[in-house]
Amino acid sequence: MSLACFAQGVGILAAANPAKWAFEPLRKVAVPTEEKHPIDGFVRQRLATAGLTPSEPATPKAMVRRLHYDLIGLPPRPEVVLAFERNPTSDAYLKLVDELLASPSYGERWARHWLDVARYGESNGFEYNEPRRNAWPYRDWVIKAFNNDMPYDEFVRMQLAGDVLKSDQEGAAAVGFLVAGMHNTVLPANIVLKQQARADELGEMVGVVGQSFLGLTIQCARCHDHKVDPISTEEYYSFAAAFNGVHHGERQVEGANPPKLFTVKAGKPAVMRVHLRGNAGTLGDEVLPGALSAVRGLSANLNLTSATPDADRRRAIADWITHRTNPLFNRVIVNRIWHWHFGRGLVSTPSDFGSSGTRPSHPELIDWLAGWFRDNGYQLKALHQLIVTSATYRQSARANATALKMDRDNRLLWRFSPRRVEGEVLRDSLLFVSGALNPQQGGPGFEDVKEIHFNAGRYYHPIVREGSEFDRRTIYRFTPRGGRDSLLDGFDCPDPSTTTPARTVTTTPLQALSLRNSPFIWRLAKRLAKRLEDEVGEDPAAQVEQAWMLCLGRIPDNDERQRAVGLVREHGMPALARILFNSGEFVVIE
């Protein structure tokens, strides 16, 4: 395709689905002055234009549960709910927000979000699927980075070039991002096929870097000029050349624990040539390491040569991606954070800001947030606080028939959209309310799979394991590719083989069956019954009231109490525990 035809095609597509805004510099946007909070100003101005009004504030009970699940991924303790219901002031709310953001559980909760994007798994995948039992330092590094409120631009630079910036375990662990994906260790003897396998590996790496930090599907330009975005094949290979020295493997790191980490093994970059139609056996012109010319305000020329070593290439591309004037870098992350708070981003395709993605529902708000985040030092905890203190976030989840007819998907944010908790949060919550949760943090994960060998390959079969070491938070589970847990799988935990910017949410009979009949649920139901007996004695009425507070954050009404006490007397507390675990109130956050 000629450059002229390419430009014409992009122009036609942009007219049909304009995405030029994403490449343009951030606009200086005036905050609507009608509301005290800037986010509310933008949202309510948009609602008024559509003839809609915001919902009333959520109840104190709903807010304290929403905050806990959102910020730390665990339900609140009963005394915290009761205390906030007695004193639901703005000061008390802000204090609660600060306490949750300071909790070590915050990093565990938000690191899980990022690991979805990073396609983090602990085996190589493909035919051999060897385990990576020393890949966990990357997971621990992400948790620590969130807890320490590492500025986001540093967070990204470390994942692209941490081993270049720091010669210690932290640097080696951080660049685990680049090699967190699948890795084919079966190398063909044929030199062209071997080169094709290397091209595939680089393509996967370019894809995750482009989608994660820039919201662009750069990999779509590997075989031909990008069909919808202004990225040429030459630019794809120029971008890939910046990572041409990166290889998967183990590295000995002095003073590290473990001493060998699964991380980047840096090598001498080969000369990069365009692979015509993506074929490693048909090479075109040589290209130099570079960036993307479509991004306004930044030069795509990194001033590198074919002789530039790997360290300088990755340092240069990391600086380009994280440059404060890079509009995509700034817009993409604030949209991701918004997506994880509200269940949908202002751009509902969080890893695609190009023409194939969706247009922002609130373009002025996303630009204002991006500029605010950049100008406030890329501090994620400050961004969380800004979002959760808005009236938009604190709205009720109650439905409104008129608004539903006009905006069923709640794109205009006239209420807080209720959503089911993720599989990991569900499992962690079950452990928490039953009193079984092991708070141990960091280190190698617990293994609830059996490694089965066949020929040279491996399969990871889920097995039931009991004991405190298996009751840690789910983020510490050893997660080989193909070793799926039935409860987590049933509740839509993604396959780590690919990046997951937005999780699929399904409703199936298997979910209800798992929450009633799995050995894990039976064990925790008995554990909750034992906890209740220890805390409030053998009186069924007292046990029922405490069970409601632990699981649902409220006192049962008279009808619920009467029915529950009768059930406990006839069938025992474990039977009631399984009912509470399966209730919509337990698995859905409003």
Instruction: For residue 34, name the pLDDT band (cuts at 50, 70, 90).
Output: confident
Average model confidence (pLDDT) for the chain? 94
Among 503, 216, 221, 159, CA closest to 351: 216
Residues of the chain with CATH 1.10.3130.20: 507-590
pLDDT per residue as tens digits for the range 420-478: 999 999 999 999 999 999 999 999 999 999 999 988 889 999 999 999 999 999 999 99
Whole-angstrom distance, CA of residue 261 vs CA of residue 257: 8
Q: Would you give the DSSP letter of residue 301?
A: B
Determine the pLDDT at residue 19.
60
| Structure-token pair, residue 388 | 């959760």
What pTM was estimated for this model as a whole? 0.95
Helix (H, G, I), strand (E, B) or coil at 342: helix
Among 407, 387, 392, CA closest to 52: 407
Q: Provide the percentage of residues in the chain whose pLDDT is more than 70.
A: 97
Is residue 576 exposed (0-12), middle (13-18) or buried (19+ Cβ within 10 Å)? buried
Q: Provide the percentage of residues in the chain whose pLDDT is more than 90.
A: 91
pLDDT per residue as tens digits for the range 225-284: 999 999 999 999 999 999 999 999 999 988 888 999 999 999 999 999 999 999 999 999
Among 497, 481, 502, 482, CA closest to 204: 497
Cβ-based neighbour number of residue 536 at 10 Å? 16
Region of 260 (left: φ > 0; alpha: ψ -120 to 50; beta: rest) is beta
Instruction: For residue 3, name the pLDDT band (cuts at 50, 70, 90).
Output: very low
Do the Cβ atoms of 303 and 32 come closer than 8 Å?
Answer: no
pLDDT per residue as tens digits for the range 376-424: 999 999 999 999 999 999 999 999 999 999 999 999 999 999 999 999 9
Please state which CATH number belongs to domain 507-590: 1.10.3130.20
Residue with tokens 């014409």: 8
Q: Mean of the pLDDT values across residues 531-555?
A: 97
Whole-angstrom distance, CA of residue 95 vs CA of residue 67: 12
Helix (H) or strand (E) holding 87: none
Cβ-based neighbour number of residue 85 at 10 Å? 15
